[in-house]
Structure 1
Amino acid sequence: MFKNIKEVIASIVKSRLFILAIIFCFMFAILIQRIFQLQIVNGDTYLENFTLTIKKEKTIPSTRGRIFDRNGELLAYSELAYAVTIEDNGSYPSRKVKNEQLNEIIYRLIQIIESHGDSIINDFNIVLDGSGSFTYTVEDTQLKRFLADVYGYRKIEDFEKKENPNVTAKEVIEYLMNEKNYGVSDKYSAEEALKIITIRYAMAANSYQKYLATTIASDVSDETVAVVMENQDTLTGVNIEEGSVRKYVDSEYFAHIIGYTGKISQDELDALKEENEDYRLTDVVGKSGIEKYMEQQLQGKKGSEQVYVDNLGKVIKVDSRTEQSAGDDVYLTINKKLHIAVYKILEQKLAGILVSRIQNIKEYVPKANGTASDIQIPIDDVYFALIDNNVIDTNHFFAEDSNETEALVYSKYENKKASVIANIAAQLNGDSIAYQNLSDEMKDYVSFVVNYLTNNQVLLKDSINTDDDTYKAWKNESISLKDYLSYAVAQNWIDITKIKVESQYADSTEIFQSLITYIESSLESNVDFDKKLYKYMIKENSLSGQEICMLLFEQGILKTEEGKTPSEEISSAGGAYRFLVGKIKNLEITPAQLALWPNSGSCVITDVNTGEVLAAVTYPSYDNNKFANSIDADYYNKLLNDKSYPLLNRATQQKTAPGSTFKMVAATAGLEEGVIDPNSIIDDLGVFDKVEEQPKAPKCWRYQSGHLTHGKINVSEALRDSCNYFFYEVGYRLSTTPSGQYSNQLGLDKLKQYATMFGLSETSGIEITESSPQITNEDSIRSSIGQGTNNFTNVQLSKYITTVANGGTCYNLTLLNKLTDSSGNVIEDYQPTVYNTLDDIQSSTWTAIHQGMRLVVEELKAFKGIDFPVAGKTGTAQEVTTKPNHALFVSYAPYDNPEVAITVQIANGYTSGNAAEVGRDVVKYYFNLADESEIITGTATPPDSEVAGD
């Protein structure tokens, strides 16, 4: 038996299975030992160190190139800064839970950011206005693009076909707040909800790609960085990243030229990708000005790195990296110091004009035979302007920390509003009082109500039958508001869906009562209506000038002198009128803040031998630092509501009739076409009556003021005197056929031919946004003095005068000097380009025109006492008789060897003499004819010359 057992054991040992068993046992022992090592011996250590790692590619933004002036003075640069970002990398069981948790994280993050004095990026196109209502900050095509994006349409056309294109801002917010979108709870205030939506919308723009960060706040403080980092474990997806922010030096002066950067839009992305495939929807690009025009050169090249991130999105390992390269540097033709000086000169002159026109009266009543030059500014208009243009914040009147005068004024306002709304309600509920029998104040309120209903599409303009007798009676002011609106209800001119009619089967009476309720509730919180109330409070003295001045102190707009109370300071100045005028004189209250006429202007200076723009000043301006990287929607909305329109580039976008500055074109046409020669004499007869079909015979400006004339003069003297009659005759001769027949079109064609030669048919060539010019197409007689439909921007006039100054070389104006790499090596040296050369113009023609322009300046009182040869031409353009005329002055200097051309345009500047004074001060500054302190005083420069005849 033992032998049998031994044989069995021997056979087993010799078996291959035995060997395999031994191997398996050995491997099992090793596995048991390894598991013991991992779980028992080192279990805690491995558990602590375990993370989920994911590989991703991370883009490294490039450093945007710098912008300098012609002398290497820095205008724009990028600065290292910390940004707060958020990524959608959380895991949620449902959309509802995701919305709740993500919104709460965002809310907490906003609190952290704002508690340390920082702010979130607010570039959403909806804001809360002063009355707490949601409103758009964009309009027209921009608004359509925004709405298409919100509702998920790539094309605007698709959005307009499938959605309501007239959706209100409030309805958009409600749409985004619902559970199907961002699920923003009602527990958040309107302001908080808007901020959450702003961030959620920005995240949505990134298509919620995992690990693609959305920047919430840029250039944040160290305190914000520290708190965010400390709370990262509970702020899922939130991180701090190093980046750069765009900074602008002396931004107020150069904002319109430099422009600003911002997040790329879908349309911009599509366009830029055609030139460079590297652009992404998260990029920051140039949105306007040189930043936009030179985007490809300034942008630089992105870098990238392959990284591993943990389950919280933190980078734990860099696998590979490709460095970014900085963008190129752009040098402009602008002279920074000159540009800033001109801006200050212009502001001083605007303030001086205002001060000279402000009178201590409540209302200006035009004289029977008065002109636009006679217009005065009542002090009540100045008081109201401070409220109307939002210098004084009426919303702070009822704030918890409101001051004594604020609370008092608000109490008066509340009483006034209750009284006015009650009167309007009485107009709608009580006896009918025809519009024509109402007081002027009540007419204003009633008109406001009708306009409000029309603008909000409650009163359907397209449904109104303008041939209806009741409608005509309303337009003729012979019926009441009640009669008109009740009839509008009966005629279905009212959109009842807008006024919350309780029953769809309501009759006309019920609908009318709903309309009254709608009007009353709308007026309770309407900013524009509130301003009308304040306007009439000032008129009736229930809101005094003293109180207006006190409000300026209480809201920190003005500072008190040391040792004086606000009341003492106002009293020592001689009362509210003198006090406020004094503050305008000292530029503590600026023309831009008042937004009264005049409040704006522009000045362009060019090198006449190259077409380079040395200064292109527009006043007023804005702070483009608040637009850098991402537009601050609240600040943007404030600018949109600023009645001085600071976003408008007056030098390149505001068109006005050129007035008498166009007479050099007519003179050139007359001389070159042979209808006059330099010695031709024309007798100014005052009234030009050679064209019978003229509805009213035009007159010379001098004849209109006392039946005087300029007598017999030649073309140079006609330019000197700006004799309208002389140029009417030139226009008439240009319009006369060889057979002696008058042809208006022939004259227009001749004027257009020569205006085109001077470059006035196209934009100036300047590299930033510019309005298209308009050469006249009606009335050749009046067009010869710059009237008709002539309309040009200041840069277009500058292109024209630069051509006149250099004797026939019409340059395309330019802002670009050179392009260098970040080390200063020149990549491209921009050379001036020629639009046209007037080679065929006779030298005698140039001589006659130049002499005439020199005579103009010699006769101007503004230039008396200046021993320096300047040539120029004044111009006055009337828009309407109820506003001051536009003032223009074009010039070049020195007369005998021109270096620069200077053009000045002051909208509603009363008289060209005021523009000429700006031109004079610029000449004095540029050619060092006086100490800088004598020219730039920091105080208003009052007009010191007569009303120029143009």
Structure 2
Amino acid sequence: MDIIKDFLENAFSSRIRVVIVAMIAFATILISRLFYLQILNGSEYQDNYNLKLEKTESIAATRGNIYDRNGNLLAYNELVYAVTIQDTGTYSSTKERSQSLNTEIAEIISKLESNGDTIDNDFGIYIDSSGSFQFLSSGSALQRFRADVFGKNSIDDLEYNDKLGIDEATATADQIVEYLEGEKVYNISDEYSKKLRYEIMVVRYNMGQNSYQKYISTVIASDVSDESVAFIKENINELTGVDVEQKSLRRYVDSEYFAHIIGYTGQISTSEYKELSATDNTIETTDIVGKSGIEKYMNDYLSGTKGFETLYVDSVGNTIAEGDYQAAVSGNDVYLSIDMDLQKAAYILLEQEIAGILYSKIQNIKEYSTTSSSDVVVPIYDVYYSLIKNGIIDINAFSDPNASQTEKDVLSAYEVKEKEVLATLKSQLKASNETVYNQLPDEYQAYSTYIVTTLKSLGIFDASAIDTSSDVQTSWTSEEMAVNKYLIYAIEQNWIDITKYESEAKYADTDELYADLVDYIIDYLSTDTSFQKLVYKYLLLDDNISGSQLCLILYEQGVLSKEDDEDYTKLAGGQITAYEFMLSKIKSLEITPGQLALDPCSGSTVLIDVKTGEVLAMVTYPGYDNNKLANSVDADYYAYLTFSAANPLYNYATQQRTAPGSTFKIVSSTAGLAENVITTTSEIVDLGQYTKVSNNPKCWIYPSNHGSINVSEAIRDSCNYFFYEVGWRLAGGDGAYDDATGIDKITQYASLYGLDETTGIEIEENSPHIATEYPVMAAIGQSDNNYTTIGLARYAAAIASEGTVYNLTLLDSVRDSEGNVIESYSPSVRNQIDVLNASEWDAIHYGMRMVCESLSSFNGFSVEVAGKTGTAQQVASRPNHALFIGFAPYSDPEISIATRIAYGYTSHNAAEVSKDILAYYFGVSATEDLLSGEASTVSNSENEFTD
């Protein structure tokens, strides 16, 4: 005991020894605790640790449907299976990540395609049928895409990238693909084919748009087959982060007729995300939003409210427990004011009329030129060329290994021609060449113009820097200068930015800079599709290829079907000519005006309920299939829509503005009556030519005249002279004439009809423009008057209702999934025109009734219609625009209509189709007779007046 006692006393007598003992004690406790945690209860605590890896997933809401006024379905959702991928892998390096992801994506894509499925592709570059990379868009949309690729917040941030050796603002499709596929970005192996490398890049880019966030799924392919679903499910354990999910796709019924109203949906863009997420923290980069039309305007109602689910996952993302859950709330349904059946019928009738006009103007000639818009005809060679120019025939497919013999023959002829053209151009572009523009053949004038125009569009030739007063510019404009001399001068004046075609400004000598520019031009033209199409034009005109060959290619490329088509057999056997063949296909609408994009190829019509102001139909022709733009963009189809000369994406009903022609004379009548410069009985003598203003305008009937007529008769006869005089009197008249006074009066009364502002509809609409000069000319609808079809339709409804002007809407109501009305919409009264008395309105209406009585289109028509025609010239070398506004029945107006056929030759064509639409609305003609599916019969007679 004493020994122990001495030991303890000695041990604790030293401070160091006390510390050592304490440390041993603490170590013992720590080791014991670690043993308890890791050995005895390790499994339990590991589970608890894993459960703390928490993620919250949003649950997308089902988008609401869109219906017409009668409950007919126009837009809905379809549940499909989609293959998705998440970046859940663990990697030791960026290189390993790329290799792993690329290998897995390549395997999935290959399997999907073997099952007939394709990847979702909204990427801004696509592969055309010749295997070349092409941009999907142009202009500001293209610059936004470039900014996204290079990680810029704004297109203004695009710059020359020294590391990449790329000017980001002008980067080509090939440069962008090479950059993304390269080692610095996705590091995609050269062992894959060009197409597969591109598809891997698209998937990786889409993943990148999600910022590679853990547990955020990226869709590889939507609406996949059962075979692809089975493959993914069977290999789920080997495919890291890959799964099959149900996805809602947007579908549209009868899309061609409604696309411009309804619009379409798509994945949120970078710019949209930045804008929307600034005020809504639930917005995600994978959200589907409305991109245009009602889908965009009513997006908040249609999109619903997201739900969420809290999950607990292990280190590779496998769900091991579930937490909080909140269901998504479906979007509300939107009902439109549009009548589905009327909309479809109006569209079909408009197409039939436009096709009939085109059909009647085609002649079996090569070329035609005129300076009179009333004499324009369509050479059949223009029709053949439009098959190539407007993309109906895919010239890139001629080089496909599986191309038909006809396609190969056409390509062979083209290659010979192209070689000759480029050689000639290179010779003409030599600095020493003295051949001025107007001494060149028409073909090479066209090529020279194309070169200069293209250099400007590429930003190489700065059009804004041109000194229009210089002698050289004047000589070029008057076609008295050689194109090479013009370009050399442009270099000397710094109008040409040499950095756009030189990697560095290594030459100070103009001759060397010009020589390099010529090399650039020739290289560019050799791969430029638009230039290739221009070469095909002259290949046709020189009969080196034939119209028959192109018509046969329509079958070989699947534009037309050979099955049960006697025309194919006759064409192939030489029993009918290509001219007869094309007329037959245009007549049957197997080839449509919208496809050919020749004048006329577009039009619009709007019908409004006069008593309520509701828009019942709003048609734009040509339409497009918005199913191919929603969900995942069909790149080839979108490229066709973008580059088509018919501009199918453009809403002609709400965006096209042209002069109203004589339809404006109702405004002038209103102004004249209200200002007491005329009365309903006062008469003006038409002398044929109006000499009170310096331009001495003529009445359309000159050298004849209308004699002495009152306002109703002037409306009936569309007498220009009468309304010149009204405009003169509004401006103060004899002794007090003042342009500004006259324009103020015209503006005042046009504004009463709502022609000074947009109509209020919920989709994009261009603002109208009331004339700002020359009241005498403005009074007949000329000067700089410009209005949309929807604006003219509201104007027609106001005339019919004796002055009620509505703020329009395309909406009827918003309802929840149970059918309960959440919000109702109806037109509101903008203003009431109260400047005319009943007899004055009667005089205007009577004049409009006499217009229709004088038109052969309305002969024998059982419904009394009142209307006003209008013919508006835009350029002398193209046909006039055709317009008609009207209402029916005359005695108790129920419906108003406004129709415009762009470049439709004469207003009687617009009146004719308006009558057919009214016949459908009132049910006075058999539907099968009206909707024949063939081009209308159009008379080219000039017996009726032209206003």
- TM-score with structure 1 setting the length: 0.90
Displacement of 1:888: 0.4
State the distance in 1 between where 2:215 and 2:40 align.
37
Moved more, 414-423 or 937-946: 937-946
Q: 1:633-692 CA deviation, whole Å, 9 max, x = no partner?
A: 44322210111100001111111111111111110110111111100111111111113x
Matching residue within 810, 813, 831 for 1:815? 810
Cα gap change, 1:144 to 1:632, in 2 (>3 Å): same
Amino acid corresponding to residue 346 of structure 2 in structure 1? V
State the distance in 1 between where 2:538 and 2:569 align.
24
Matching residue within 348, 352, 357 for 2:356? 352
Aligned partner of 2:420 in structure 1 is 419
Aligned partner of 1:3 in structure 2 is none
Cα gap change, 1:467 to 1:665, in 2 (>3 Å): closer
Q: 1:862-919 CA deviation, whole Å, 9 max, x = no partner?
A: 0001122111111000001001000001111111111111111100000000000111
State the distance in 2 between where 1:563 and 1:736 align.
67
State the distance in 2 between where 1:885 and 1:488 align.
37
Displacement of 1:750: 0.8
Q: Does 1:726 find its partner at 2:722?
A: yes
Q: Map 1:1-16 onto structure 2 (within 5 A).
A: none
Aligned partner of 2:19 in structure 1 is none
State the distance in 2 between where 1:133 and 1:719 align.
58
Q: Does 1:679 find its partner at 2:676?
A: no
Aligned partner of 1:374 in structure 2 is 375
Aligned partner of 2:871 in structure 1 is 876
Matching residue within 873, 880, 886 for 2:881? 886
Amino acid corresponding to residue 909 of structure 1 in structure 2? G
What is the SS of the residue equivalent to 1:244?
Answer: strand
Q: 1:140-180 CA deviation, whole Å, 9 max, x = no partner?
A: 44444434433334355555799967332434444434444
State the distance in 2 between where 1:501 and 1:319 align.
59
Moved more, 851-860 or 303-312: 303-312
Matching residue within 228, 233, 246 for 2:250? 246
Q: Does 1:405 find its partner at 2:402?
A: no
State the distance in 1 between where 2:317 and 2:679 align.
82
Displacement of 1:401: 0.8
Matching residue within 830, 845, 849 for 1:850? 845
Displacement of 1:468: 5.7
Aligned partner of 1:98 in structure 2 is 97
Moved more, 88-97 or 728-737: 88-97
- 2:75·2:250 contact (CA, 8 Å) conserved in 1? yes
Matching residue within 158, 170, 195 for 1:167? 170
What is the SS of the residue equivalent to 1:247?
Answer: strand
Q: Does 1:751 find its partner at 2:746?
A: yes
Q: 1:456-490 CA deviation, whole Å, 9 max, x = no partner?
A: 23445466666665555544544434444455556
- TM-score with structure 2 setting the length: 0.90
Amino acid corresponding to residue 282 of structure 1 in structure 2? T
- 2:51·2:321 contact (CA, 8 Å) conserved in 1? no
Matching residue within 205, 218, 227 for 2:231? 227
Q: Map 1:684-723 onto structure 2 (within 5 A).
A: 684-691=686-693, 694=694, 696-703=695-702, 707-723=703-719
Aligned partner of 2:568 in structure 1 is 566
Q: 1:700-736 CA deviation, whole Å, 9 max, x = no partner?
A: 1011xxx111111110111111111111111111111
- 1:887·1:910 contact (CA, 8 Å) conserved in 2? yes
Q: 1:592-620 CA deviation, whole Å, 9 max, x = no partner?
A: 11100000101101111111111101100
Q: Map 1:307-706 onto structure 2 (within 5 A).
A: 307-366=311-370, 371-429=372-430, 432-461=434-463, 473-486=475-488, 488=490, 494-500=496-502, 504-505=506-507, 507-560=509-562, 562=564, 566-569=568-571, 574-691=576-693, 694=694, 696-703=695-702
Aligned partner of 1:913 in structure 2 is 908
Cα gap change, 1:587 to 1:314, in 2 (>3 Å): farther
State the distance in 2 between where 1:320 and 1:295 align.
28
Displacement of 1:270: 5.0
- 1:721·1:949 contact (CA, 8 Å) conserved in 2? no
- 2:548·2:571 contact (CA, 8 Å) conserved in 1? no
Aligned partner of 2:87 in structure 1 is 88
- 1:61·1:324 contact (CA, 8 Å) conserved in 2? yes
State the distance in 2 between where 1:477 and 1:354 align.
33
Aligned partner of 1:7 in structure 2 is none
Q: 1:796-829 CA deviation, whole Å, 9 max, x = no partner?
A: 0011111111111111121111111111112222
Cα gap change, 1:287 to 1:487, in 2 (>3 Å): closer
Cα gap change, 1:682 to 1:189, in 2 (>3 Å): farther
Cα gap change, 1:419 to 1:52, in 2 (>3 Å): farther
Aligned partner of 1:217 in structure 2 is 221
Aligned partner of 2:12 in structure 1 is none
Q: Does 1:199 find its partner at 2:203?
A: yes
Q: Does 1:788 find its partner at 2:806?
A: no
Cα gap change, 1:702 to 1:810, in 2 (>3 Å): same
Q: 1:724-752 CA deviation, whole Å, 9 max, x = no partner?
A: 11111111111116x94001111111111
Identity %: 49
What is the SS of the residue equivalent to 1:410?
Answer: helix
- 1:861·1:945 contact (CA, 8 Å) conserved in 2? no
- 1:913·1:945 contact (CA, 8 Å) conserved in 2? no
Displacement of 1:213: 1.3
- 1:613·1:813 contact (CA, 8 Å) conserved in 2? yes
Q: Map 1:766-805 onto structure 2 (within 5 A).
A: 766-805=761-800
Q: Which runs of 5+ in 2 are unaligned?
A: 1-24
Cα gap change, 1:167 to 1:234, in 2 (>3 Å): farther
What is the SS of the residue equivalent to 2:429?
Answer: helix
Cα gap change, 1:502 to 1:277, in 2 (>3 Å): closer
What is the SS of the residue equivalent to 1:166?
Answer: helix
Aligned partner of 1:57 in structure 2 is 56
Displacement of 1:129: 5.2
Moved more, 175-184 or 529-538: 175-184
Q: 1:339-387 CA deviation, whole Å, 9 max, x = no partner?
A: 1011100111111001100001111133xxx631211100000000011
Displacement of 1:137: 3.4
Aligned partner of 1:16 in structure 2 is none
What root-mean-square deviation, in Å, do the aligned CA atoms of Structure 1 and Structure 2 show?
A: 3.4
Displacement of 1:782: 0.7
Amino acid corresponding to residue 105 of structure 1 in structure 2? E
State the distance in 2 between where 1:362 and 1:736 align.
53
Moved more, 747-756 or 309-318: 309-318
- 2:555·2:562 contact (CA, 8 Å) conserved in 1? yes
Amino acid corresponding to residue 673 of structure 1 in structure 2? E
Q: Which runs of 5+ in 1 are unaligned?
A: 1-20, 40-45
Displacement of 1:780: 0.3
- 2:130·2:397 contact (CA, 8 Å) conserved in 1? no
State the distance in 1 between where 2:275 and 2:440 align.
57
- 1:501·1:511 contact (CA, 8 Å) conserved in 2? no
Amino acid corresponding to residue 949 of structure 1 in structure 2? T
Q: Does 1:901 find its partner at 2:896?
A: yes
Aligned partner of 1:932 in structure 2 is 927
Moved more, 494-503 or 784-793: 494-503
Displacement of 1:202: 2.3
Q: Map 1:31-42 onto structure 2 (within 5 A).
A: none
State the number of aligned residues.
916
Aligned partner of 1:11 in structure 2 is none
- 1:397·1:407 contact (CA, 8 Å) conserved in 2? yes
What is the SS of the residue equivalent to 1:308?
Answer: strand
- 1:560·1:569 contact (CA, 8 Å) conserved in 2? no
Cα gap change, 1:187 to 1:434, in 2 (>3 Å): farther
Cα gap change, 1:121 to 1:702, in 2 (>3 Å): same
Cα gap change, 1:634 to 1:489, in 2 (>3 Å): same
What is the SS of the residue equivalent to 1:906?
Answer: strand
